[in-house]
Structure 1
């Protein structure tokens, strides 16, 4: 069975998606907020590695950046921000269309991103302690 990673066209398409999503977020007054205080210099590459792994591709994120727990920690403790989450999901869905992902693959990618975004709310409290060794969040 072909993975979602392969249906999308591999890493280059996923990397183009993360770059376009970031560009769109910077243009959106709500979605730009997390990026206003600086960010990891390889944010787009790191996100592409994470999504590549989540979509059934090579384990690039686990091999070079961290595990699910470390990724959740990056996003934890920032409080509830439903409007921000929705703005980011909206821009992600737009980026999916703009990089040419369509059909069932687009639906699956967008549904995954929404679920993952909503799932991070578990760790939104300022004193949230993300457990070690969380299982990877595959699509």
Structure 2
């Protein structure tokens, strides 16, 4: 995965975290908090919880105000990720970041087939996201 791909992911004006959770022990919380700590406009996607870190969540990617301007991080089991990718493709999500454990080969192939920028293969925003944030001039 090239740094150029990561930088491309961060070109979007908005971000969403599918699998955001209020549980501070889970990566859905840690990744959502990472976006906030870097002053990035992020929305949590979780149909089971109304807020994460005092920020209102949405039940579905379909509820995003600007889906074509939103890059999405996934922190869900691969089968949930794959089902959510159908919605992502339908609404025009431009880029996805599959956090470790949130995808399989089918997820990657589908996202690429639909023309999305794809960050995967073990890359985690908590470790590798700084390259993209720096490119946005936020560090």
TM-score normalised to the size of structure 2? Answer: 0.29
Question: Which one has more relative contact order, counting CA pairs under 8 Å at least 6 apart?
Answer: 1
State TM-score, norm by structure 1. Answer: 0.29
Q: Which has the higher strand share?
A: 2
Which structure is larger by alpha-carbon Rg, 1 or 2? 1
